[in-house]
């Protein structure tokens, strides 16, 4: 059991608890091993590099301000991430104050950036701020670097958060739109990356809100969700409008049978964790009938 906790996220109070499954019934979908590396919740780091990810990209140009440079002249993001980032900037009132510095990078571009930074800044700086080729979240299209439009911006470490009200508002509202600051200073021993106030990662709602509430980085959250396997108590999240049911399914060799809600009141999504399994997130707008197995 996890204790019931409450936290205000963008004027909403979320409640977390462990609980019994919420759907009236479940059906099975089958996912292959490659799909463990796909979805909004994939963990990408030096120990868990990007697998076969083919992001659905949309250009940032014409939608948001961007600080395009020679390293990344055509900034693009995952389509859902871009839509949510746009909504977040609108909520912040910062469309003309915050710019997109970096989005999707191919493995080859990441290799070029890594080697260039290594030559110019040395190994200590490079290892702290630049992920290895193949181990960068930017390769998924789900990560975005942002900066303040009023300041001169460095591509690797753009200015963001240093006493800025706009940056503070962005960070405060980000979880409600599915974003987390991926690399916090206190989590450096776990993530292996120094604090990056400019680097945000889309994981989706309510996951970003839960991570913020429990002060978990993505490495910790991936382990936390494994405690809520389908056959045990699920993670239940409520925010006043919706009730969410979240649970983990361990991947099997070949195809994995993943139970999903077979309920007319439920919308669901499945994401791989890029480690060893899948996470199901179901949303209920109406009060579902609880039951036991």
Q: What is the CATH number of the domain that holds 191?
A: 3.30.1380.10
User: Residue 6's pLDDT is what?
Assistant: 44
Residue 63, domain member (yes or no): yes
Residue 47, domain member (yes or no): no
At 82-106, the pLDDT tens digits run 999 999 999 999 999 999 999 999 8
Statement to judge: residues 194 and 226 lie in one domain: no
Statement to judge: residues 64 and 194 lie in one domain: yes
Q: Which helix (H) or strand (E) holds 220?
A: helix 218-225
CATH number of the domain within which 257 lies: 3.30.200.180
* pLDDT band with cut points at 50, 70 and 90 for residue 109: confident
Statement to judge: residues 132 and 98 lie in one domain: yes
Q: Does residue 288 surpass a pLDDT of 60?
A: no
Does the pTM of the predicted model rise above 0.85? yes
Output the CA–CA distances (angstroms, integers) from residue 166 to 26, 72, 94, in the order listed. 44, 24, 7
Mean pLDDT of 5-33: 82
Distance of alpha carbon 167 from alpha carbon 169, whole angstroms:
5
Nearby residues of 248 by Cβ (< 8 Å), 6 or more positions away: 225, 226, 227, 228, 229, 230, 273, 277, 278, 279, 280
Task: Give the burial class of 90: count Cβ atoms within 10 A of its Cβ; 0-12 exposed, 13-18 middle, 19 or more buried.
Answer: exposed
User: Residue 72's pLDDT is what?
Assistant: 79
Q: Which of 141, 173, 202 is the last residue of a domain?
A: 202
72 is catalytic: no
Statement to judge: residues 197 and 61 lie in one domain: yes
Statement to judge: residues 64 and 196 lie in one domain: yes
Given the residues 196, 219, 245, 250, select the one marked as catalytic. 196
Question: For the chain, how many structural domains are there in total?
Answer: 2
Residue 136 domain boundaries: 57-202
């Amino acid at each position: 059991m996890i204790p019931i906790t409450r936290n205000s996220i963008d004027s909403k109070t979320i409640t977390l608890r462990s609980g019994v499954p919420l759907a009236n019934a479940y059906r099975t979908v089958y996912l292959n091993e490659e799909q463990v590396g796909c979805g909004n919740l994939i963990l990408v780091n030096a120990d868990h590099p990007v697998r076969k990810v083919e992001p659905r990209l949309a250009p940032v140009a014409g939608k948001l301000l961007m600080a395009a440079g020679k390293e990344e002249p055509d900034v693009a993001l995952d389509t859902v991430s871009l839509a949510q980032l746009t909504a977040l900037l609108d909520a912040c009132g910062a469309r003309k104050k915050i710019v997109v510095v970096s989005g999707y990078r191919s493995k080859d571009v990441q290799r070029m950036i890594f080697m260039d930074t290594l030559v110019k800044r040395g190994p200590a700086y490079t290892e702290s701020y630049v992920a290895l080729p193949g181990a960068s979240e930017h390769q998924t299209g789900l990560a975005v670097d942002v900066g303040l439009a009023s300041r001169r911006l460095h591509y690797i470490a753009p200015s963001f958060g240093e006493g800025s009200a706009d940056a503070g508002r962005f960070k405060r509202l980000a979880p409600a739109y599915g974003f987390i600051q991926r690399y916090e200073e206190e989590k450096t021993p776990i993530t292996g990356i120094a604090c990056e106030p400019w680097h945000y990662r889309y994981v989706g709602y309510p996951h970003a809100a839960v991570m913020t509430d429990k002060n978990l980085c993505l490495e910790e959250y991936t382990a936390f969700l494994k405690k809520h396997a389908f056959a045990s108590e699920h993670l239940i999240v409520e925010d006043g409008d919706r009730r969410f049911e979240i649970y983990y399914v361990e991947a099997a060799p070949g195809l994995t049978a993943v139970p999903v809600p077979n309920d007319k009141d439920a919308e669901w999504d499945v994401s791989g964790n890029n480690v060893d399994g899948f996470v199901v997130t179901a949303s209920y707008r109406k009060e579902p009938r609880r039951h036991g197995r």
